[in-house]
Amino acid sequence: MPKDSGIGASSKRREDVRFLTGAGNYTDDINVHGQAYVHFLRSDIAHGRIKSVDTSAAEAMPGVVRVFTGKDFEGVGGMPCGWEVTDKHGAPMQEPPHPILAQGKVRHVGDPIAAIVADSLEQARDAAEAIDLDIEELPAVIDMKAAAQDDATLVHDDLKNNICYDWQLGETDDAKVDEVFANAAHVTTLDLVNNRLVANPMEPRVAVGEYKRGTDEYTLFTTSQNPHVIRLLMCAFVLGLPEHKVRVVAPDVGGGFGTKIFHYAEEAFCTFAAKACGRPVKWTSSRSEAFMSDAHGRDHVSKIELALDADNNFIGLRTNTYANLGAYLSTFSSSVPTWLHGTLMAGNYKTPVIQVNVKAMFTNTVPVDAYRGAGRPEATFQLERVVDKAARELGLDPIALRRQNFVTQFPYDTPVALTYDTGDYNGTMDKLEAAADLAGFAARKAESEANGKLRGLGINCYIEACGIAPSNIVGMLGARAGLYDAATVRVNATGSISVMVGAHSHGQGHETAFPQVVADMIGIDESMIEIVHGDTSKIPFGMGTYGSRSLAVCGSAMVKATEKVIEKAKKIAAHLLEASEADIELKDGQFSVAGTDKSVAWGDVTLTAYVPHNYPLEVEPGLEETAFYDPANFTFPAGAYACEVEVDPDTGQVSIEKFTAADDFGNIINPMIVDGQVHGGIGQGIGQALLENCAYDENGQLLSASYMDYAMPRADDVPFYGVDHSSQTPCTHNPLGVKGCGEAGAIGSPPAVVNAVLDALNSGGKAVDHIDMPVSPSRVWAAMNS
Amino acid sequence: MYSFDFEKPSTVADAVAALGAEDAQALGGGQTLIPTLKQRLAAPSKLVSLSGIAEMQGVCVEDDGSLSIGGATTHATVAREAAATYPALAALAGQIGDPAVRNRGTIGGSVANNDPAACYPAGVLGSAATIVTNTRQIAADAFFEGMFTTALEEGEIITSIRFPVPQVASYQKFLQPASRFALVGVYLARFADGVRVTVTGASEDGVFRWSEAEEALNKEFRPDALMDLRINPANMIADLHGSKAYRAHLVSVMTKRAVEACM
Ligand SMILES: Cc1cc2nc3c(=O)[nH]c(=O)nc-3n(C[C@H](O)[C@H](O)[C@H](O)COP(=O)(O)OP(=O)(O)OC[C@H]3O[C@@H](n4cnc5c(N)ncnc54)[C@H](O)[C@@H]3O)c2cc1C
C-alpha cells in the first residue's frame, strides 16, 4: 500500500506551487536600493599577452561609477582550488594563480579583463566599448595531447609545462599490469572521447554584493549550491574578510547541476566592489556569458583496455586519460578526473587488477569542473563501452558477460580504493530484464525493420560513490574542506518545526522530502515542518548540495538532531505525566506511558518547553537541537539501464524508443521525487549522448557559443521512461539507509544510448566499433558510410 | 542594445516615409532583429514596426487562384489560414521554430532576412512566388541573391508575397539539432507546367533550385527518377552539424521523401 504521508509517500512537491506560479525568489529578483550594475569586458581571443588596458575614456562616460582591471586586485587573493591532488611521483599538482580579473595574460575566450560598474547595465556596456585594449595574440593551446608535448606553448608561463598532474590509481607496478595483459586470452581496446558539456541551468548565474558601512558587514546574494562554502572560500582565500561579517544568501536557485558549486570571480568581485564603490553592485549573466564563464563539464580523451581470461572473466583493466581542466583550476576541478573518476573504474565488476592513469591538462578553454555525476559518468562510459565491445568481439550476450563478472560479496574492497558496503547487482539486473521487457525486444526489432529502421538494444550498469563524503578520508586524498553536514531542528512553542539545513535545494525537492522524515519520526503532519536553507545567517555551517549527498549526509544530521529533540521532549513529557522517562513512548504525535492510557500531545509538550511553569528543573527550557553528521563511508547506488533506439539508415537520425532504468537507491523517502530525479538525469545523459557538444576550433573560439549550435535535449528528444527502484539494499552506515539518486540517470544513460546505437548499426550489417558522443545524425551516417 | 527611436505607422506609405530616416530599419516580428540588437550587432537609429499596418496582414485567395500573404503576416497565421488552399506552405510555416516564434515572426521578415537555413525562402522560390514591395514586383528567381542578401533596396518593404498554388507540393525539413532550423530542407512543388525543387540549409549560396532533379522529375515523377542523381558537395555548408558530403546526401534523401509525399 503506498503511503500518503511520511517516509515512502509521494508527497507533492510543495515548492512547485511558488515556482510554477511565478512566486519564486531568485537572485535576479533581488534588487538592493541604490544598486549599480557591473558588466565584464571579456576576452574575445583564447590566449594573449595584455600590453595595456586604457580605461580613461570609459571612466569619463555617462553613468560610470568605476572601472576595475586586474591591477585593482593585485593586493587580494585569487580564486582558490579546494582539492590538492598529489601526482604519481608524490609531488603536489601545479597550481597556477587565478586572478579575479586577468593579470598579464588572457587565457580563454570569456576571461574577464575589466569590470565596469555604472548606474545602468547599458551604460556599463557603452563604457566597455570605450576601453582601449592592446593584447598581443599568442598561439592557443587547445588539443590536450599537443598541450602535453615538451615544446607546447605554455598556458601559464610560470609552470614547467601544461600538465597539472600526472596521476595514477590502482596497481602501481606497470610490469604486473603488462603481465596480466600478456597472459590474457582476449584484450579489448577502445579509444574514446567524453564530450565537453555546458551545464546550462535554466537560471544563469547572478551575484549582488552589498556593504553596510555602519556595521562593516557584507551580504552576497548569489546563485549557489553551497552558500557556506562560498563564504569560507571568499573570506579566507580571496578577499581576507572576517567570516562573521559576511552573509551569503543563495535564495531560490534555478538548477545547478554542479556548475553552481564553485566560487566564481564574479561573486568575489561584486562583494569587493560594493565596498570599493560605496554602492551595492549587481551582475546578471547573459546566456552568452554563461557559455564562456560557467565551468564546463567532462572533456576527457581516454584509451581503455580490458583483459579477459579464457572463461571470459575480467582479469585486468588499464586506462589512460587526458582530462581537460581548462585555463584555470576551478574550485573542485582537480578532484573530478582523479578521486571521483579513478575510484569508480571497478564499476560493478570484480576485476582484480586495475590501473588508472590521468594526465590533467591546462588549455586555453573555459575551466572544467564537476557536472552532474562528476567523474563517475566518465568512468562508467569507458568501462561500459569496453565491456560492450568485448561482448561483441567474443560473440557473448552482453548481459551474461556482465553478470558473470559482477561483484556479489559485500562488503567488497575494490583495487581502486573504495569499499562497497552493499548491493545486489544480479537482483537489479533481474528487475531491469522484467521492467524493460527484454524478452519482447526481438518482436519490436522486427517491427522496426518492417518500417525500414534499424533497432538496437543497449545495456549498461553503473555504480557511483555518493553522499560525499567522510571528511577524514577526503582529507587524506587532498580535499581542503570537510564534507560533513549539519541541521538544526527548531521546534516552535505551538509544535510546528523549522529545520535549518546545510544542504541547498535547487530543484531537488528538499522542502518536501526532508519534512517527510521528521514528520514520520514524531508522528505529526508534514505541513507542520518547514525547511530553511540557503542563508548563512540562518543555517548551521553545512557543505551544500552536490554528489547526491543531501539526504544521505544532511538528512542524517537532521535525523540526529530530531532524535535529540525527541529525547528532550520525552523528559518534559515524563515530567508532565509523572512517569519515568524510560517508560515514555512517542507515537502519532502523542507521548504516552507504556502500558497505561496516560498521554500528552506533542503540542502540549512543545508549549511546556517554552512556557516552563510546570517543568523539570534539571532540563533547559526551549526545544532546539543541532547535529553535525560526518558519514562513515560513501554510499553506493547502483543500477542497470536498457535503451532501445531506432536508427534511420537514410539519414543517421537516432530516436530513443524505449528507456528503462532499474536503480538501487537503498531506502526511498519520496518515490515521486526519486522518479523525477532519475528522469532529469537520464534526460541530461541523453543530451550528452545524442546532442550536446561544446566545441572549440583550433584558435580557441567557442563554436557552440549559443543555442543556435549547442543542442539541448528537448521534450520530444526523450521517450517516456520506465523507472524501477524496487531493488533496495539499504545503505549500511547512515540512519535512513539511503544512498542518493541525483546523479544516477546522468551516469547510467550515456553508455546505454551509445551501446544501443552500435547494436543497431552492427545488427544492420555494419561493423562499427565506436562513435563518439554526441551520436549526431551526421556522425552516425559517417560511421555507416566509412 | 543601443537606444533607438521607435515608430509604429498604420499605412505602408507612412512606413516608407519613416524608413527614409538615416539608418532606420523595418521591424517585423523581431525574431531575428531583436536578438541581433541585444548582442549589439546592429545599431539602427530608428525601428519602424510593420505590425500595425492592416494592408500587410492576412492570407487571401486572388482572382487568378493564387494565394496572397501580407508581408507582416505571422507564421502561425499562415499555418492556420493557408492550410486549406496551400497545405504544403501552411505545413512549412507550422514547422518554423516554436509557438512563440511563430506567433511573432513574419513571412516578410523571414524572406527579407534570407537566412541560408530558413524555411520560407525554399517555399517562396519553390512556388515561383512573386515578392511584392512598396515599389515593384520581383520574381522569386530574381530575388534571392545569396546568404543574407536579396534584391531589396534600402528601405524597401515586402508588402505581400503571391504564391501560385501547385497541384501538389511538399516541404521536407531535416532539423539542425540545436537551432532546429533546416540542416537541409527541400521544397518540391508540382505545377501543370513542371516541377520545381528548391533546397535550403545546404548551400553557401543560400536557397537554390536543384535543376537536375527538376529535369529528372519532369521526365518521370516518381522517387526512383532521382536514383542516380547526386548533388555536387563542393558548395555545401560544412559545420559542427554536418559535413559537405552529409548535406549533399541529405538533399537527395529529402528530395526523394518529398516526391514520395506527393505521390
Ligand atoms: C528560436 C527561433 C527559432 C527559429 N526557427 C526557425 C526555423 O525553424 N525556420 C525558419 O525559417 N526560421 C526560424 N526562425 C526565424 C524566424 O522565422 C524569424 O521570424 C524570421 O527569420 C524573421 O522574421 P521576423 O518577422 O521576426 O523579422 P525581424 O526579426 O523583425 O526582421 C528581420 C529582418 O527583416 C527585415 N524586415 C522585417 N520585415 C520586413 C518586411 N516586411 N519587408 C522588408 N524587410 C523586413 C528587418 O529589417 C530585419 O532586417 C527562428 C527564430 C527563432 C528566434
Residue nearest to atom 36 of ligand 1 (CA): B109
Rounded-to-integer distance, Cα A715 and Cα A720, Å = 10
- Asked if B233 has any chain A CB less than 8 Å from its own CB, the reply is no
Q: Can you give the pLDDT at residue A1?
A: 52
Residues 6+ apart with CB under 8 A from A164: A85, A93, A94, A95, A325, A329, A334, A360, A361, A362
Domain edges within chain B: 5-163, 168-262
Residue A701 buriedness (CB in 10 A; 0-12 / 13-18 / 19+): middle
- Does 3.90.730.10 match the CATH number of domain B5-163? no
Residue B26 Cβ < 6 Å to ligand 1: yes
The C-alpha of A381 sits at a distance from chain B's nearest C-alpha, in angstroms, of 23
Rounded-to-integer distance, Cα A565 and Cα A8, Å = 23
Q: Can you give the pLDDT at residue B196?
A: 98
Q: How many CB atoms lie within 10 A of CB B62?
A: 12
Rounded-to-integer distance, Cα B91 and Cα A420, Å = 56
Residue closest to A685 by CA, chosen among A371, A311, A455: A371
pLDDT cut 90: percent of chain A above it:
98
Rounded-to-integer distance, Cα B105 and Cα B29, Å = 4
Residues 6+ apart with CB under 8 A from B93: B75, B76, B78, B79, B82, B102, B107, B119, B120
Residue A722 vs residues A165, A660, A679, A745, A755: alpha-carbon distances, Å: 41, 4, 9, 12, 18
Contact present, A129 and A267 (Cβ < 8 Å) = no
Of A122, A288, A711, the CB nearest to B177: A711
Looking from the CA of residue B159, the nearest atom of ligand 1 is 41
Residue A122 buriedness (CB in 10 A; 0-12 / 13-18 / 19+): middle
Between A and B, how many residue pairs show a Cβ–Cβ distance under 8 A? Answer: 49
Residue A602 vs residues A102, A419, A496, A567: alpha-carbon distances, Å: 59, 42, 10, 13
Rounded-to-integer distance, Cα A684 and Cα A753, Å = 12
A122–B3 CB contact, under 8 Å: yes
Residue closest to A746 by CA, chosen among A675, A688, A706: A688
Residue closest to A555 by CA, chosen among A489, A508, A501: A501
Rounded-to-integer distance, Cα B4 and Cα A282, Å = 25
Mean pLDDT of chain A, nearest integer? 97
Phi, psi of A59 (to 5 degrees): -65, -25
pLDDT digits (tens, 9 = 90+) for A662-676: 999 999 999 999 999
Structural domains in chain A, sorted by start: 16-22+484-629 (3.30.365.10), 31-138+202-255+260-293 (3.90.1170.50), 296-469+633-784 (3.30.365.10)
Q: How many CB atoms lie within 10 A of CB B125?
A: 26
Residue A150 vs residues A60, A225, A325: alpha-carbon distances, Å: 47, 39, 18
Residue A433 buriedness (CB in 10 A; 0-12 / 13-18 / 19+): middle
Residue B2 vs residues B21, B34, B47: alpha-carbon distances, Å: 17, 11, 12
| Number of helices and strands in chain A (H, E) | 19, 30
Contact present, B145 and B10 (Cβ < 8 Å) = no
Query: Strand pairing of A590-593 and A584-587?
Result: antiparallel
Q: 3-state SS string over A252-268?
A: ECCCCCCCCCCCCHHHH
Closest alpha carbon within chain A to B253: A650
- Asked if A703 has any chain B CB less than 8 Å from its own CB, the reply is yes
Q: Which residues are bridge partners to A574 per DSSP?
A: none
Q: Can you give the pLDDT at residue A764?
A: 83
Rounded-to-integer distance, Cα A564 and Cα A245, Å = 31
CA torsion angle for B164, B165, B168, B170 (degrees, to 10)?
80
Closest alpha carbon within chain B to A649: B253
Residue B74 Cβ < 6 Å to ligand 1: no
Question: Which residues in chain B have their CB less than 8 angstroms from residue A711's CB?
Answer: 177-178
Looking from the CA of residue B32, the nearest atom of ligand 1 is 29
Which spans in A286-336 are helix H?
287-293
B179–A693 CB contact, under 8 Å: no
Chain A, residues 599-638, CB within 8 A of chain B, namely none
- Asked if B101 has any chain A CB less than 8 Å from its own CB, the reply is no
Residue B176 Cβ < 6 Å to ligand 1: no
Ligand 1 centroid distance, CA of B252 (Å): 27
Ligand 1 centroid distance, CA of A143 (Å): 38
Length of chain A (residues): 786
In this chain, the answer to whether the domains covering B5-163 and B168-262 adopt an identical fold is: no
Phi, psi of A508 (to 5 degrees): -75, -20
Residues 6+ apart with CB under 8 A from A112: A40, A41, A42, A43, A100, A101, A102, A265, A266, A293
Q: Which of B107, B110, B156 is the pocket-test mutation for ligand 1 (most atoms within 8 Å of CB)?
A: B110
pLDDT digits (tens, 9 = 90+) for A347-369: 999 999 999 999 999 999 999 99
- Asked if B261 has any chain A CB less than 8 Å from its own CB, the reply is no
Rounded-to-integer distance, Cα A681 and Cα B207, Å = 40
| Number of helices and strands in chain B (H, E) | 10, 12
Q: Can you give the pLDDT at residue A469?
A: 83
Whole-model pTM over 0.80: yes
Rounded-to-integer distance, Cα A293 and Cα A207, Å = 14
Length of chain B (residues): 263
Q: Can you give the pLDDT at residue A3?
A: 79
- Asked if A125 has any chain B CB less than 8 Å from its own CB, the reply is yes
Residue B71 Cβ < 6 Å to ligand 1: yes
Residue B117 Cβ < 6 Å to ligand 1: no
Mean pLDDT of all residues in A184-203: 98
Residue nearest to atom 5 of ligand 1 (CA): B97
pLDDT digits (tens, 9 = 90+) for A455-469: 999 999 999 999 988
Residue nearest to atom 12 of ligand 1 (CA): B118
Looking from the CA of residue B31, the nearest atom of ligand 1 is 26
Q: Can you give the pLDDT at residue A719?
A: 97
Q: Which residue has the cell 577524514?
A: A472
Rounded-to-integer distance, Cα A703 and Cα A692, Å = 12
Residues 6+ apart with CB under 8 A from B199: B122, B184, B185, B186, B187, B207, B208, B209, B210, B231, B251, B255
Residue closest to A139 by CA, chosen among A110, A107, A94, A96: A107
The secondary structure of residue A237, as a DSSP letter, is: I
Of A125, A707, A778, the CB nearest to B241: A778
Q: Can you give the pLDDT at residue A29?
A: 98
Residue B107 Cβ < 6 Å to ligand 1: no
Which spans in A588-711 are helix H?
602-610, 671-686
Rounded-to-integer distance, Cα A433 and Cα A64, Å = 65
Mean pLDDT of all residues in A636-640: 98
Q: Can you give the pLDDT at residue A2?
A: 63
Q: Which residues are bridge partners to A501 per DSSP?
A: A487
- Name the pLDDT band for A4 (thresholds 50, 70, 90): confident
Closest alpha carbon within chain A to B180: A708
The C-alpha of B248 sits at a distance from chain A's nearest C-alpha, in angstroms, of 11
Residues of chain B short of pLDDT 70, as ranges, are none
Please give the ipTM for the structure prediction: 0.96
Residue closest to B162 by CA, chosen among B128, B130, B139: B130
Rounded-to-integer distance, Cα A611 and Cα A375, Å = 53
Mean pLDDT of all residues in A717-727: 97
Contact present, B222 and B255 (Cβ < 8 Å) = no
A288–B177 CB contact, under 8 Å: no
- Which segments of A271-342 are extended strands (E)? 281-284, 296-297, 300-308, 314-326
pLDDT digits (tens, 9 = 90+) for A88-132: 999 999 999 999 999 999 999 999 999 999 999 999 999 999 999
pLDDT digits (tens, 9 = 90+) for B159-182: 999 999 999 999 999 999 999 999
B240–A650 CB contact, under 8 Å: no
- Asked if B179 has any chain A CB less than 8 Å from its own CB, the reply is yes
Name the fold adopted by B168-262: Enolase-like; domain 1 (3.30.390)
pLDDT digits (tens, 9 = 90+) for A44-71: 999 999 999 999 999 999 999 999 999 9
Contact present, A528 and A495 (Cβ < 8 Å) = yes
The C-alpha of A778 sits at a distance from chain B's nearest C-alpha, in angstroms, of 5
